[in-house]
Chains A and B, each alone.
Chain A
Amino acid sequence: MRITRPRYRSGLLMETWLFWALAVVAIVASLLVVSRRSARHGVLTLVALLGAMSGLYLLLSAPLAAMIQLTVYAGALLTIILPVTFLLDLPDDADDRSYVGQGAGSRRVGMLLVVVLVVELAWAFQHLRGTGLPEGEPLPGARPTAVMTSLVFDHAAGVALVALLMLVAVAGAMALVRREAR
């Protein structure tokens, strides 16, 4: 299904520029998260990645997901996980040569699988080029109130399961740390 959109409108041009700028930021931030040796720098660049992702969500007319991504997800990283990395004084990812040989075969297989994944995706998307998105107006069902209503009434079981997961995660984290502290 190809949806034709008017070209060269100022709004569309801005959307195009924003998408490519945010895509570059997201890819560079992802590379930095993976490549930085310091966990603190990794957390900070992950927050940058989440910011770029929330901008992309806004371009996709998903303001609620963008807001929650920034306030809850990136906020949790900044206010909880980043201070923990400072308090623990986590060591940097040491470039210890004694570990280079360990698991090298499985790492090579893993990297080969990643390369195969990228090649397959590139091949697949070449054959599907040009699937346009609907117009940029917020979809009636995508308004935050509609999403929240659907979340509460249509996905109540999922919400309960996620709440249970959070409870178990908090209890598990506390049990792990407290037992160790005794």
Chain B
Amino acid sequence: MLPEPTLNSYLMLSAVVFAIGAAGVFLRRSLVTVLLSIEVMLSGVSLTFVAADRYLARTDGQIMTLFVMVMAVCQAAIGLAVALVLIRQRNSLNPDEISDLRW
């Protein structure tokens, strides 16, 4: 018999998803994959908002989730534009090669 999902089940799931996304940000060497890993992290955060929203019987968490979705789409658009520029200039998406702003 599976245990009944509680608030902690949702929070634990969102933490696991967030940690997987964070590991992807640290481990992968493609800018697009790093961007997708950030999207995974944001999904985990959104689940936390909605679960807390349900637990507290409020609507603020859902609204914050909508804001997070819009922000995620915006960062995907900007990130893809940067990836496009990098592909044209260097033919590579390796973040380790991007050091133009290094002091």
Interface residues of A, Cβ cutoff 8 Å to B? 5, 7, 12, 15-17, 19-20, 23, 26-27, 30-31, 33-34, 36-37, 39, 42-43, 46, 49-50, 53, 56-57, 59-62, 64-65, 68-69, 72-73, 76-77, 80-81, 84-85, 88, 90-94, 96, 99, 102-103, 106-107, 110-111, 113-114, 117-118, 121-122, 125, 128-134, 139, 141-142, 146-147, 150-151, 155, 158, 162, 165-166, 169-170, 172-174, 176-177, 180
Contacts and interface: CB of A to CB of B under 8 A. Distances in A.
Contacts of B36: 33-34, 39, 42-43, 46
Contact of B62 (A5, A56, A142, A180): A142
B70 A91 contact: no
A60 B20 contact: no
A15 B2 CA distance: 11
B34 to A, nearest CB: 10
A125 B11 contact: yes
B67 to A, nearest CB: 5
B20 A30 contact: yes
A21 B31 CA distance: 31
Contacts of B27: 34, 107, 110-111
A162 B12 contact: no
A93 B31 CA distance: 9
Contacts of A151: 63, 66
Contacts of A33: 21, 24, 33, 36-37, 39-40
Interface in B42-98: 43, 46-47, 50-51, 53-55, 57-60, 62-63, 65-67, 69-78, 80-85, 87-89, 91-94, 96
Contacts of A111: 23, 26-27
